[in-house]
């Protein structure tokens, strides 16, 4: 039986670590981890918001199938990974984000440590200490183990921001250190889906500084694993629960909403230094992969498939041609139903909520970036169009992900792409039917009302 170390970030963009095309110096520990394992550059979470993403991971089921569409517990009777691991004798532990897997008692952790004891989820040394103690216990008891280490970085409040000073008290800020590297506005390159404005640069630099402290936490946990002597018998998985908490990312269905920097280091199974840039992977695939690592028969009815065939090398296994992602509800419990289907070339989004009047509002609009966009929209027509579109959307969006990975140009009404649009509509309707999506009839009705 293989030990399993699952390390997660909160809100880390899928293009941030070096092997995913990110900025130099942002993630040295993740870069080293990737060099010793396999990188999946086209991996996505099912839903780009914290609790639904994590609940899907730990149940192997879509949010509408496990009950956690927003910040609520999974339904009664839904199986969780911990059930299977405990039956195999695994010691289980969680560091951080404990309340984002509910009901908490349903997961039955042997060790659970939440944010206060971890320096508001931002103290790398605290993560290292608790990880080391957990591994010592597993060794003393002669048991395999599963540890889920969840950094609260780079979630807001970002390092050095005014929000950080107002959100955390002086005493709370003393519980965690500054990142090992702090970025400045003049050294960052703003992602292409955001306007390059001074306030955006400032906030993105603060975000990258929090990213670096998340990487410091990854390093501390990996160091504890190395000291335990169990690294060669351990599957290490790293991912983010979704994209960055800025407009057109988190709490949406865009490419940078659900893209996650997935890394697997599995001595003897995952080739070191391998980069898979072609296969569409879902974090729903991790549940059956963990089952395989633990020698557990994969339960019937899961929504993912084991990644082990892909570890033999890209292109050697027929994989999925398209991938679906969803969105249901914000942390404030506002419903903005969205569905997305994408393949190697195109991404299609259906916004069930977009009626021309309803305005979108979510956490990604807090802080400097959205306010800067609104201010600039008063004098810049392109930014006004962009911000207006973000508020109301269109019922359908279609993007050429090869030519336009930042999803700046909605092609849903382009006559030359009518066949592509129809293909994506059919693929989404099929998926909704196969998974029992409760909005299937509404979607079918919308399609019938669209002009031929």
Output the 3-class SS for 52-108: HHHHHHHHCCCHHHHCCCCCCCCCCCCCCHHHHHHHCCCEEEEECCHHHCCCHHHHC
The predicted model gives 220-236 an average pLDDT of 98
Q: Is 452's pLDDT higher than 60?
A: no
Alpha helix segments (H runs only) across 143-295: 162-167, 170-173, 198-228, 255-258, 286-294
Token digits for 348?
């299609």
CATH of domain 323-449: 3.30.1120.10
CA distance 298 to 289: 9
Q: Where are the domains of the chain?
A: 3-312, 323-449
pLDDT tens across 23-50, in order? Answer: 999 999 999 999 999 999 999 999 999 9
The predicted model gives 209-219 an average pLDDT of 98
Task: For the chain, give the mean pLDDT.
Answer: 96
CA distance 307 to 305: 6
User: Would the pTM count as exceeding 0.85?
Assistant: yes
pLDDT tens across 104-124, in order? Answer: 999 999 999 999 999 999 999
Phi, psi dihedrals of residue 400, rounded to the nearest 5°: -85, 100
The residue behind tokens 């009302």 is 449
What is the structure's pLDDT at 314? 64
Q: Is 360's pLDDT higher than 80?
A: yes
Q: Is 4's pLDDT higher than 90?
A: yes
The predicted model gives 225-232 an average pLDDT of 98
What is the structure's pLDDT at 451? 59
In the chain, the percentage of residues whose pLDDT exceeds 90 is 96
Task: Give the closest residue to 53 by CA, choosing from 40, 42, 43.
Answer: 43
CA distance 399 to 335: 23
Task: Give the closest residue to 395 by CA, choosing from 325, 445, 331.
Answer: 445
pLDDT tens across 281-332, in order? Answer: 999 999 999 999 999 999 999 999 999 999 987 666 679 999 999 999 999 9
What is the structure's pLDDT at 137? 98
CA distances 407 to 158, 160, 398, Å, are 25, 30, 8
CATH of domain 3-312: 3.40.720.10
What is the structure's pLDDT at 278? 92
pLDDT tens across 231-255, in order? Answer: 999 999 999 999 999 999 999 999 9
Provide DSSP, 137-206.
HHHHHT--EEEEEE--TTSSSPTT-HHHHHHS-HHHHTTSPPPSS---GGG----TTS---HHHHHHHHH
pLDDT tens across 372-386, in order? Answer: 999 999 999 999 999
């Amino acid at each position: 039986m293989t030990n399993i170390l699952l390390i997660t970030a909160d809100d880390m963009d899928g293009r941030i670590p070096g092997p995913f095309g990110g900025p130099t110096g942002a993630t040295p520990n993740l870069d080293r981890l990737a060099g010793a394992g396999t990188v999946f550059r086209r991996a996505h979470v099912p839903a780009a918001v914290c609790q639904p993403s994590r609940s899907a991971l730990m149940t192997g089921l879509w949010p509408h199938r496990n009950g956690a569409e927003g910040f609520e517990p999974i339904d009664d009777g839904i199986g969780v990974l911990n059930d299977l691991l405990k039956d195999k004798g695994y010691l289980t532990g969680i560091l951080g984000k404990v309340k984002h897997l509910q009901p908490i008692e349903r997961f039955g952790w042997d060790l659970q440590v939440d944010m206060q004891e971890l320096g508001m989820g931002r103290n790398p040394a605290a993560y290292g200490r608790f990880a080391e103690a957990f591994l010592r216990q597993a060794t003393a008891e002669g048991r395999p183990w599963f540890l889920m280490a969840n950094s609260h970085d780079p979630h807001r409040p970002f390092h050095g921001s005014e929000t950080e000073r107002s959100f955390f008290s002086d005493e709370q800020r003393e519980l965690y250190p500054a990142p090992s590297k702090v970025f400045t506005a003049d050294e960052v390159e703003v992602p292409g889906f955001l306007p390059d404005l001074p306030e955006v640069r400032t906030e993105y630099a603060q975000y990258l500084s929090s990213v670096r402290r998340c990487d410091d936490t990854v390093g501390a946990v990996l160091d504890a694993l190395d000291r335990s002597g169990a690294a060669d018998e351990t599957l290490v998985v790293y991912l983010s629960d979704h994209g960055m908490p800025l407009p057109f990312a988190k709490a949406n269905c865009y490419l940078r909403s659900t893209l996650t920097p997935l890394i697997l280091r599995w001595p003897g199974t995952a080739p070191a230094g391998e980069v898979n840039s072609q296969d569409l992977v879902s974090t729903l695939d991790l549940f059956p992969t963990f089952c395989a690592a633990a020698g557990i028969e994969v339960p019937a009815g899961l929504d993912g498939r084991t990644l082990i065939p892909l570890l033999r090398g890209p292109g050697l296994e027929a994989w999925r041609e398209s991938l679906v992602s969803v969105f249901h509800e914000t942390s404030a419990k506002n419903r903005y139903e969205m569905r997305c289907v994408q393949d190697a070339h195109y991404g299609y989004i259906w916004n069930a909520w977009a009626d021309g009047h309803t305005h979108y509002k979510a956490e990604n609009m807090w802080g400097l970036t959205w306010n800067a966009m609104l201010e600039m929209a008063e004098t810049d027509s392109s930014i006004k169009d962009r911000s207006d579109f973000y508020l109301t959307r269109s019922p359908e969006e279609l993007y050429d992900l090869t030519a336009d990975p930042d999803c700046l140009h909605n092609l849903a009404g382009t006559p030359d792409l009518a066949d592509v649009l129809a293909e994506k509509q059919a693929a989404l309707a099929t998926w909704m039917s196969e998974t029992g999506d409760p909005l299937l009839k509404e979607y079918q009705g919308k399609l019938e009302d669209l002009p031929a």
